[in-house]
């Protein structure tokens, strides 16, 4: 990462600090009641007080999200490759996948609970269900963008289809795949929460329901803060993996997703 990374990081922190300051000032000046919009100080206070349940529940939601997310990567990339290589898969499976996204996960969640019980599995599955699609789509698009001459080159060297896939198509698709994976990370967290809303005894989604039922609006916001932190952390974790795994020309060096290719 360039030296500009530190500078832009500081700018983000400064931006957040300004928002928090304005919010706190507004809360005090306009006497905004705690049950409508808690002040940042109130939220921070309750988060400190309840740090332990927050941490424990965060770990639960994190586990559900990460497993669902991991599953989505493992299944989606091969599925994307299959769709590129198989006419049948492209014409039969791809439309089914697209249609599946129109199904509201909130409606699916109760059905998953009936089929898979009350434990980790239904949340993992819903997280998977939402997260897999951007990865499949980006894998397909990324592989289709392989320059034609590269494929000609490989064929003229006598490369087998597997060699073409591994040496040229997948590498040139990786910027797209990683972009899809970043989106999927955020989606997986949402999916885990949706699952928890339907049936859970732990996790940040469950904590939200209880806080809401108890009129503890500051704690409710505390869980939202924890969720945001989790989402951001996962996003940057994927970015870190990308940085470590990919050679420099393939990395997304700009926020707009552009790479140096």
Site residues (vs another protein, CB under 8 A): 33-36, 109-110, 113-114, 117-118, 147, 149-150, 152-159, 163, 167-168, 171-172, 197-201, 206, 209-210, 212-216, 246-250, 260-261
Are the CB atoms for 225 and 43 separated by under 8 Å?
yes
Residue number with CB closer to another protein (99 or 162): 162
Residue number with CB closer to another protein (185 or 198): 198
Residue number with CB closer to another protein (11 or 155): 155
Tell me the closest approach of the beta carbon of residue 259 to another protein, in angstroms.
9
Tell me the closest approach of the beta carbon of residue 107 to another protein, in angstroms.
9
Are the CB atoms for 104 and 172 separated by under 8 Å?
no
Tell me the closest approach of the beta carbon of residue 162 to another protein, in angstroms.
11
For residue 240, give both structure tokens.
Answer: 């870190």
Residue number with CB closer to another protein (2 or 201): 201
Taking phi over 0 as left and psi of -120 to 50 as alpha, with beta for the rest, 139 belongs to alpha
Tell me the closest approach of the beta carbon of residue 97 to another protein, in angstroms.
26
Location of structure tokens 């000609």: 152
What is the three-class DSSP state of 255? coil
- Length of the chain in residues, anyone? 261
Cα 175 to its chain centre, rounded Å, is 16
């Amino acid at each position: 990462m360039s030296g500009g990374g530190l500078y832009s990081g500081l700018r983000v922190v400064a931006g957040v600090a300004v928002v928090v300051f304005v919010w706190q000032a507004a809360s005090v000046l306009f006497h905004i009641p705690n049950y409508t919009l808690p002040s940042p100080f109130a939220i921070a206070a309750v988060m400190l007080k309840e740090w332990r349940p927050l941490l424990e529940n965060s770990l639960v939601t994190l586990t559900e999200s990460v497993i669902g997310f991991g599953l989505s990567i493992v299944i989606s990339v091969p599925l994307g490759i299959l769709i590129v290589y198989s006419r049948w898969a492209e014409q039969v499976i791809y439309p089914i996948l697209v249609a599946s996204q129109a199904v509201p996960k909130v409606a699916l969640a109760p059905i998953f609970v009936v089929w898979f019980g009350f434990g980790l599995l239904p949340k993992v599955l819903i997280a998977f269900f939402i997260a897999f699609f951007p990865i499949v789509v980006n894998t397909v698009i990324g592989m289709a963008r392989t320059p034609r001459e590269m494929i000609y080159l490989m064929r003229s060297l006598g490369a087998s289809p597997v060699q073409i896939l591994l040496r040229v198509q997948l590498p040139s698709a990786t910027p797209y795949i990683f972009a899809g994976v970043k989106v999927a990370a955020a989606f997986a967290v949402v999916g885990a929460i949706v699952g928890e809303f339907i049936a859970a005894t732990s996790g940040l989604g469950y904590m939200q329901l209880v806080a809401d039922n108890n009129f503890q609006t500051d704690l409710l916001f505390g869980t939202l803060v924890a969720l945001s932190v989790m989402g951001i952390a996962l996003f940057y974790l994927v970015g870190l993996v990308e940085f470590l795994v990919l050679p420099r020309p393939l990395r997304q060096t700009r926020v707009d997703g552009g790479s140096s290719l």
